[in-house]
Amino acid sequence: MKKQLSLMLVAIPLFLGLSFITADAADMNYSVTAKIPENQIDKKLTYFDLKMTPGQQQTISLVATNSSDEPIMLTITPHTATTNKNGVIDYSQQLEKKDSSLIYDFSEYISGETKIALQPKEIKEVNYQITMPNESFNGILLGGFYIKKEMTTKDEEQEKAVQIRNEYSYVIGVKLSESEGIVTPKLKLNQVKPTLQNYRTAISANIQNTEPTIISGLEVDAKVYQKNSKKVLHHTEKSQMAMAPNSNFDFNISWDNQELKPGKYYLTLEAKDKTAKHWKFEKEFEIKKEESNHMNQKAVEIESNNTIWYSMMLAIAIVVIVILVLLLVMKKKKTK
């Protein structure tokens, strides 16, 4: 079975919440950089951080370089920033469903070529057009260019000969703002429901950032209780997370490889960010019998609660021992 290792080179700093793996330049046969324009807020940055105005139109450029001796084709796609299931800001995925709080979708305000052909040793400047919304807004529009080299026939032949294939890609971030005003982040707790996380039983709590601002240094502490009980059944906490503007993700609370039992429960969830902004939520939820049966059957490494079964077996064993002792006593009496 072939394995694919994806490595991403990112022109976005860690404070924008994107974790990344760097690759040795010798392993790459192409590169892409941002051509920083005059309205860049900080010209030392390697990603776009642009001061814009309502309705403004501007052309920005990427510089693509093919350092190999073969022609290559690059796919360059603008993506709106999202938050993935690990609590990491993600620029590599196409937005499948808009967050309910997202008014301005970054990918809808930028246009340009998505397929870029480069001849051997060619350097090409690729232009993209930004058209800002006509209405003024506070906060930021956040997205990025996801760049990937398409496989050639030669690449496919080489892939067949190896078990692990390295696949490199770039993300170059784009942050657009109209003012320097600070937007206060707001968190919202949405649906809480049973789920499977990597085929293991869990509860997912959907957390939403409803404001056009980044939440960094996010810490979440979640506890699950049986309804009308103060005993903690399951507890999960996680730190060093981040959320993209106007996005949501499912924070999973591990069920510790136990069966999901039908019943009514409640969740307490506390969160704070690097600025010590604090949120606290409580929410009741129910695990239905049909849901629990379906998920328990699909779950792996599940630990069934066999307390009743063990108790019955112990009781039967005690009864058998008592009967054997009585029979032995009766037999001795008869012998005498």
Q: What SS3 class is residue 78?
A: strand
Predicted pLDDT of residue 157: 64
Q: Which CATH superfamily is domain 3-177 in?
A: Immunoglobulins (2.60.40.10)
Q: Is the pLDDT of residue 161 over 80?
A: no
End-to-end CA distance of the chain, in Å? 75
pLDDT band at 28 (very low <50, low <70, confident <90, very high): confident
Predicted pLDDT of residue 15: 43
Give the max Cα distance, the chain.
112
Between residues 2 and 107, the one the model is more confident about: 107
> What are 68's two structure tokens?
């190999």
pLDDT band at 128 (very low <50, low <70, confident <90, very high): very high
Pick from 46-60, 185-199, 231-245, 295-309: least confident: 295-309
Q: Can you tell me the mean pLDDT for 55-69?
A: 96
For 17, 22, 211, 263, 281, the CA distances from 171, given in Å and listed in that order, are 13, 12, 23, 45, 35
Task: Report pTM.
Answer: 0.81
Predicted pLDDT of residue 258: 93
Express as a percent the part of the chain with pLDDT over 70.
82
Fold observed for domain 187-298: Immunoglobulin-like (2.60.40)
Between strands 48-51 and 164-177, the pairing is parallel
Predicted pLDDT of residue 133: 96
Q: Give the span between the Cα atoms of 46 and 58, in whole angstroms.
A: 18
Q: Can you tell me the mean pLDDT for 6-15?
A: 51
- Across the chain, mean pLDDT equals 86
* Domain(s) of CATH 2.60.40.10: residues in the chain: 3-177, 187-298
Pick from 16-30, 96-110, 272-286: least confident: 16-30
Predicted pLDDT of residue 94: 87
Q: Give the span between the Cα atoms of 75 and 146, in whole angstroms.
A: 8
Q: Is the pLDDT of residue 10 over 90?
A: no
Q: Can you tell me the mean pLDDT for 249-264?
A: 95
Predicted pLDDT of residue 164: 58
Pick from 139-143, 152-156, 237-241: least confident: 152-156
pLDDT tens, 242-254? 999 999 999 999 9
Tell me if 274 sits within 8 A of 213, measured CB to CB.
no
Q: Is the pLDDT of residue 284 over 90?
A: yes
